[in-house]
A and B are shown apart, each in its own frame.
Chain A
Amino acid sequence: EPEVTQTPSHQVTQMGQEVILRCVPISNHLYFYWYRQILGQKVEFLVSFYNNEISEKSEIFDDQFSVERPDGSNFTLKIRSTKLEDSAMYFCASSDRTKLNEQFFGPGTRLTVL
C-alpha cells in the first residue's frame, strides 16, 4: 500500500542552525501539508501546498519557515535559525485531488533543538 515517507526520523540540531525536513508524498497525490506536534500538545497545521505554491498557511508559518517541491517526488520543510521552541514532531501529509478530505500522514520527523 502506498505511504508517505519522511526523513530523517530524528534530527538533532543546535539553536540557530537551519534544518531541512524531507517528505516523499504518495506518488499520485497533488496536495501536500506540513503539521507539527509539540510533545503532549495538539497537532497544529502549518501549511498546505498545491501546484508549486502555498495554498494556505497558519500564523505559526512565519518567515522562519519555507516549503519547496524541489523535484517530482520530494516535498521539503526548511526551518531557518531554529529556536528551542521548534522542538516537535513534524508530520508531512498528502491527499489526492479527488479526495481532499483523506489526508495520509507520514511517520514524522522528531526535531530536537538544543
Chain B
Amino acid sequence: QKEVEQNSGPLSVPEGAIASLNCTYSDRGSQSFFWYRQYSGKSPELIMFIYSNGDKEDGRFTAQLNKASQYVSLLIRDSQPSDSATYLCAVRAGGFKTIFGAGTRLFVKA
C-alpha cells in the first residue's frame, strides 16, 4: 500500500515566523510531489510542486525534496493568519494517480 504520511498537527506558529511542514512517502517510484492548501470546507488549492531533489522557491513558500530519504517539506516564511489551513502533501508515481496525505493543520497566531 503506497502511503503518504504527515503529522496531523495542529502546528501553531506566531505571525511572522517560519512554518515547517513535513511529509514522508513510501513509494520510491514517486516522481512528482505536491503541496496543496485546503481551507475548512473548501477544495484543495495547489501551492507548488517539485520533482527534483533540492529546494524550489515560490514567493514565501519553499518546497524541499530528498528522494533518498523519501521526504518532502514545505516552508512558509513570514507566516500570516490567512495561512491558517490544512496543508496536504501529495505524490504521483508517473501516470495520473495522485496519493494524498491526511494533511497538517497549521494555525498562525496574530
Contacts and interface: CB of A to CB of B under 8 A. Distances in A.
Nearest to A108: B43
Interface residues of B, number: 21
A43 B44 contact: yes
A22 to B, nearest CB: 15
A42 B3 CA distance: 11
Contacts of A41: 102
B5 to A, nearest CB: 11
Chain A interface size, as a band, is 20 to 34
Interface in B65-103: 88, 90, 95-103
Contacts of A106: 43
Contact of A56 (B45, B88, B97): B97
B44 A45 contact: no
B88 A43 contact: yes
Nearest to B92: A101
Residue among A31, A42, A43, A107 with the highest chain B CB neighbour number at 10 A:
A43
B100 A107 contact: no
B97 A91 contact: no
A52 interface: no
B73 to A, nearest CB: 18
Residue among A33, A42, A102 with the highest chain B CB neighbour number at 10 A:
A42
Interface of B: 32, 34, 38, 42-46, 49, 51, 88, 90, 95-103
